[in-house]
């Protein structure tokens, strides 16, 4: 185990790349499209099938969280975990589900058929489910192919470090540009893997990946 | 001015460290950096244990305080309000998989008219992101970690008794892994060798040999050990171990092992990150009769976290026995125990029974 001063010596409250609760995560989210405009579209339609799909670690859950917590707070929002065995019934509200693929096939079919406004994240697109719906209004965001620029990644990383800051008057570590570029070239848009690598570096008090 | 910069909030404490059995005393400081009168609805202050790790975060509220004493805070004014929370009986811990912080979390809930005023100001200064930030997360928030250590508090084993069979768990692992490896190799061999069934027979024979060797080295020399761990005055516990009758050993030692674990979703599966953060020095246990062993052993002297289970976070303590068999081989086995802190026991003054504590 590390010294209890390990992070306070870096002027941090905790490892900046540990998992953040959704409210904190909002402060460190750099959206890759206009979430506000999307929210307006959702509010103005009667029926919509909206999915965020793509590989793990590419920002689907983060963007869904921002959309719901910031713009659609009255939506019914379920963040599913692998260990859950939930059955979610259709609702008259907007229904948002993180990790739609964790529901049973029967549940997914019922929701695709009967849920008026359905928003979810998933690994593989369920667009074929449109066949079950009367209204064919569909919108999909493919996070695997969506661009993530190095500048946006830098902003995410520095926001997370800033969130973990302990004392405003004292400086905080900054990840070296060369190291971040190397991670970006290695992992491309897989932000989760980049953050996992940074998590390990910040465990090391003698790491050369950051400077004060 | 950014919306978020309108108020500065932090907690100050008496002293740099707190012992886990000490109340946490400090004061909350809220400063208004803006030129506006900030109307306050309420201030909520919680003492929390916060667990953070890869892929998960969770918290437990230990104590809370709601402050309704302040209706507003003027421009450039500072509010200071003392607080005293009950002892945390948990310690700060920085592990490789899990961080356990004891923190003061403060939320200053401001009146809607002040929210609008501050947002308008941010918009007027063309701080659009700040305006939006104020719209969606209007309240002001701070989280200040407190350094909490063991101090002079003694650890205590809460629940410990059962049976351990050293060597059996590792024997099971050896047999399962060798079965899987041999199955895969035999399938490859079968198809690569033009479906020669002899390849499969060889794999089966190899597995049988591994089972026999494992049995001879691990299972046959092992035995059931019944154990009871009792707390002893001071930071000690007594281990009482009873062997199956007729078993002879060259020696036995035991120790405590602390493990930190976090389980999280990683894509479409669940992953567990697990690290051993503490291994006490093995202590030889003295034989007191034909099949019993007893020893008084020290509990951890350094500040380590106690057993805790907070959804996907676990601090697990294990009692591990190493027995040296008659033929000199060392077999290990362990069982989970619950390690806590000794809390001050308050005697009921009306109780006639001296042993009646609560």
Residues B253 and B277 in one domain: yes
Q: Domain residues of chain A, as ranges?
A: 8-18+148-211, 35-142
Per-residue pLDDT at B356: 33
Per-residue pLDDT at A21: 84
Q: Which one of A136-140, B116-120, B133-137 scores highest in mean pLDDT?
A: A136-140
Per-residue pLDDT at B138: 53
Question: Could you tell me the two tokens for B136?
Answer: 């969606």
| Pairing status of strand A117-122 against strand A48-53 | parallel
| B194 or A162, greater pLDDT | A162
Q: Which of A71, A83, A203 sits opposite B270 (nearest CB)?
A: A83
Chain B residue whose CA is closest to A3: B94
Residues B351 and B255 in one domain: yes
Q: Which of B94, B96, B268 sits opposite A4 (nearest CB)?
A: B94
pLDDT digits (tens, 9 = 90+) for B54-85: 788 888 999 999 999 999 999 999 999 999 99
Longest dimension (CA), chain A: 60
CATH architecture, domain defined by A35-142 = 3-Layer(aba) Sandwich (3.40)
Domain holding B145: CATH number?
2.60.40.640
| Chain B touched by A166 (CB under 8 Å) | yes
Q: Residue A14 and residue B101: Cβ atoms within 8 Å?
A: yes
Per-residue pLDDT at B131: 52
Q: Does the pLDDT at position B353 exceed 50? A: no
How far off is chain B from A165, nearest CA to CA, in Å?
10
Measured CB to CB, residues of chain B less than 8 Å from chain A are 8, 50, 52-57, 91-96, 99, 101, 103, 132-133, 136-137, 143-145, 147, 149, 260, 264-270, 277-278, 303-304
Q: Residue B99 and residue A196: Cβ atoms within 8 Å?
A: no
Residue B44 to residue B42: CA distance in whole angstroms: 7
Q: What is the mean pLDDT of residues B183-204?
A: 88
Per-residue pLDDT at B351: 40
pTM: 0.82
Residue B296 to residue A70: CA distance in whole angstroms: 58
Q: Does the pLDDT at position A48 exceed 50? A: yes
Q: Does the pLDDT at position B357 exceed 70? A: no
Q: Residue A123 and residue B267: Cβ atoms within 8 Å?
A: yes
To test the contact with chain A by mutation, choose from B11, B13, B33, B54 the residue with the greatest count of A C-beta atoms within 10 A, namely B54
| B269 or B142, greater pLDDT | B142
∠ CA A156-A161-A164 to the nearest 5 degrees?
Answer: 130
Residues B51 and B129 in one domain: yes
Per-residue pLDDT at A56: 87
Confidence class for position A11, pLDDT limits 50, 70, 90:
very high
Q: Residue B143 and residue A18: Cβ atoms within 8 Å?
A: no
Question: Rg for chain B (alpha carbons), in Å?
Answer: 29
Per-residue pLDDT at A197: 93
Residues B160 and B133 in one domain: no
Q: What percent of chain B has pLDDT over 90?
A: 54
Per-residue pLDDT at B347: 37
How far off is chain A from B316, nearest CA to CA, in Å?
14
- In total, how many domains does chain B have? 3
Q: Residue B137 and residue A23: Cβ atoms within 8 Å?
A: yes
The β-bridge partners of A117 are A48
Per-residue pLDDT at B123: 62
Per DSSP, the three-state class of A132 is helix
Q: Residue A168 and residue B147: Cβ atoms within 8 Å?
A: no
DSSP B125: T
Q: What percent of chain A has pLDDT over 70?
A: 100
How far off is chain B from A118, nearest CA to CA, in Å?
21
Per DSSP, the three-state class of B9 is strand
- DSSP structure string for A162-211: HHTBS-TTS---EE-HHHHHHHHHHHTT-HHHHHHHHHHHHT-TT-SSEE
| Chain B touched by A188 (CB under 8 Å) | no
Residues B99 and B158 in one domain: no
Residues B274 and B195 in one domain: no
A contacts of B265 (beta carbons < 8 Å): 81-82, 99
pLDDT digits (tens, 9 = 90+) for A62-78: 999 999 998 998 999 99
* A65 CB-contact burial (10 Å; exposed 0-12 / middle 13-18 / buried 19+): buried
Q: What is the mean pLDDT of residues B325-338?
A: 89
| Chain B touched by A69 (CB under 8 Å) | yes
A contacts of B136 (beta carbons < 8 Å): 26, 69-71
Per-residue pLDDT at B193: 84
Chain A residue whose CA is closest to B50: A14
pLDDT digits (tens, 9 = 90+) for A50-65: 999 999 889 999 999 9
Q: What is the mean pLDDT of residues A101-112?
A: 92
Chain B residue whose CA is closest to A100: B268
Question: Could you tell me the two tokens for B132?
Answer: 């939006």
Q: What is the mean pLDDT of residues B271-293?
A: 91
Residues B112 and B210 in one domain: no
Average model confidence (pLDDT) for chain A?
Answer: 91
Length of chain A: 212
Q: Which domain holds residue B39?
A: 3-149
Choose the weakest-confidence range: A188-202, B1-15, B151-165: B1-15
How far off is chain A from B19, nearest CA to CA, in Å?
14
Domain holding B264: CATH number?
2.60.40
A contacts of B103 (beta carbons < 8 Å): 13
Per-residue pLDDT at B14: 85
Contact A48, A180 (CB under 8 A): no
Residues B306 and B280 in one domain: yes
Q: Does the pLDDT at position B345 exceed 50? A: no
Half-sphere CA count of B22, side-chain side, radius 13 A: 18
What count of CB pairs under 8 Å joins A to B?
84
pLDDT digits (tens, 9 = 90+) for B77-127: 999 999 999 999 999 999 999 999 999 999 999 888 888 888 777 666 555
Residues B112 and B232 in one domain: no
Per-residue pLDDT at B315: 94
Contact B286, B225 (CB under 8 A): no
Q: What is the mean pLDDT of residues A148-177?
A: 92
């Amino acid at each position: 185990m590390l010294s209890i001063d390990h992070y306070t010596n870096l002027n941090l409250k905790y490892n900046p790349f540990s998992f953040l609760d959704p409210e904190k995560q909002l402060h460190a989210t750099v959206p890759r499209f206009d979430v506000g405009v999307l929210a307006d579209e959702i509010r103005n339609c009667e029926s919509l099938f909206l999915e965020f799909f793509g590989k793990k670690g590419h920002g689907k859950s983060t963007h869904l969280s921002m959309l719901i917590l910031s713009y659609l707070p009255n939506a019914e929002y379920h963040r599913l975990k692998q260990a859950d065995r939930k059955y979610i019934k259709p609702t008259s509200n907007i229904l948002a589900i993180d990790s739609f693929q964790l529901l049973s096939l029967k549940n997914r079919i019922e929701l695709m058929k009967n849920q008026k406004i359905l928003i979810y994240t998933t690994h593989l697109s369920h667009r074929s489910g449109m066949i079950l719906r009367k209204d064919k209004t569909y919108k999909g965001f493919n996070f695997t192919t969506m661009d993530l620029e190095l500048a946006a990644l830098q902003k995410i990383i520095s926001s997370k470090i800033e969130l973990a800051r302990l004392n405003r008057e004292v400086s905080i570590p900054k990840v070296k540009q060369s190291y971040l570029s190397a991670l970006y070239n290695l992992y491309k848009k897989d932000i989760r893997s980049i953050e996992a690598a940074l998590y390990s570096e910040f465990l090391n008090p003698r790491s050369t990946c950051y400077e004060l | 001015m950014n919306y978020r910069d309108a108020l500065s909030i932090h907690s100050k404490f008496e002293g740099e460290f707190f012992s886990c059995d000490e109340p946490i005393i400090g004061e909350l400081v809220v400063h208004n950096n803006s030129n506006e009168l900030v109307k306050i609805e309420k201030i909520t202050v919680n003492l929390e244990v916060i667990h953070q790790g890869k892929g998960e975060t969770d918290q437990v509220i230990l104590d809370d305080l709601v402050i309704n004493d302040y209706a507003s805070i003027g421009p450039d004014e500072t509010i200071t309000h003392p607080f005293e929370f009950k002892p945390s009986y948990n310690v700060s811990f920085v592990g490789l998989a899990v961080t356990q912080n004891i923190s003061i979390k403060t939320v200053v809930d401001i009146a809607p008219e002040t929210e609008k005023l501050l947002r308008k100001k941010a918009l007027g200064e063309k701080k659009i992101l700040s305006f939006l930030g104020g719209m969606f997360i209007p309240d002001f928030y701070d989280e200040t970690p407190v350094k909490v250590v063991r101090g002079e508090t003694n650890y205590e084993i809460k629940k410990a008794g059962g049976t351990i069979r050293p060597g059996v768990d590792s024997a099971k692992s050896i047999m399962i892994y060798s079965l899987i490896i041999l199955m895969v190799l035999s399938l490859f061999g079968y198809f690569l060798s033009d479906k020669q069934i002899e390849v499969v027979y060889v794999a089966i024979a190899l597995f049988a040999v591994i089972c026999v060797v494992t049995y001879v080295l691990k299972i046959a020399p092992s035995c059931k050990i019944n154990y009871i761990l009792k707390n002893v005055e001071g930071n000690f516990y007594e281990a009482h171990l009873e062997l199956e009758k007729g078993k002879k050993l060259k020696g036995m030692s035991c120790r405590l092992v602390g493990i930190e674990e976090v389980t999280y979703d990683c894509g479409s599966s669940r992953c567990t990150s697990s690290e051993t953060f503490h291994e006490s020095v093995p202590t030889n246990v003295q034989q007191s009769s034909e099949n019993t062993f007893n020893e008084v052993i020290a509990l951890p002297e350094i500040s380590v976290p106690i057993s805790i289970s907070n959804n996907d976070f676990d601090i697990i303590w294990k009692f591990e026995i190493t027995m040296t068999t008659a033929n000199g081989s060392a077999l290990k086995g362990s069982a989970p125990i619950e390690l806590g802190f000794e809390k001050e026991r308050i005697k009921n003054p009306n109780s006639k029974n001296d042993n009646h504590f609560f």
